[in-house]
Amino acid sequence: MKSRLWPLLLFIVAFSTQAEETSPIQDNYGYYGLEPEIITNYITTGRQLGYIRVTVELMLKDASTMALVEHHAPLIRSTIIEILGEQPAEKIKSLAGREEIRRQCYDKITTLLEEETGKDLISNLLFTKYLYS
């Protein structure tokens, strides 16, 4: 039985070392949380006032750019507030609308930061808390 397992063991060891040699280098991702959370109004019909409360985390392509992103945090916050304030209640309250808003925030912030810094800094934008009334 030992003689049958030996070739299999050699194959596994050879395959695993080959996989390690061809695997890409891991990126140095980092996360930047906008503090405090964002609270703003959105468009409603009638007399009732609607508000949304979100916590935003930015996934950075390189953790060493954290200070640069922090420097531009007021621009990022302002952009998100502007985008949320333009949304109708139906979009705020639907799951598909939430994803569309998240994507719109990501696209706009990525564009603005690239214009300001000349670098592509953000890999993703996440809503870690999303409450509305």
**Number of C-beta neighbours around residue 37 at 10 A:** 13
Instruction: Give the CATH class of 30-132.
Output: alpha beta
What are the backbone dihedrals phi and psi of residue 126, each rounded to the nearest 5 degrees, phi first? -125, 140
Specify whether the CB–CB gap between 64 and 80 falls below 8 A: no
Check whether 127 has a pLDDT greater than 50.
yes
Q: How far apart are CA 127 and CA 51, in angstroms?
A: 16
What residue ranges do the domains of the chain occupy? Answer: 30-132
Condensed to tens digits (0 to 9), the pLDDT of residues 14-60 reads 555 444 444 455 679 999 999 999 999 999 988 888 999 999 999 99
Amino acid symbol at 97: G
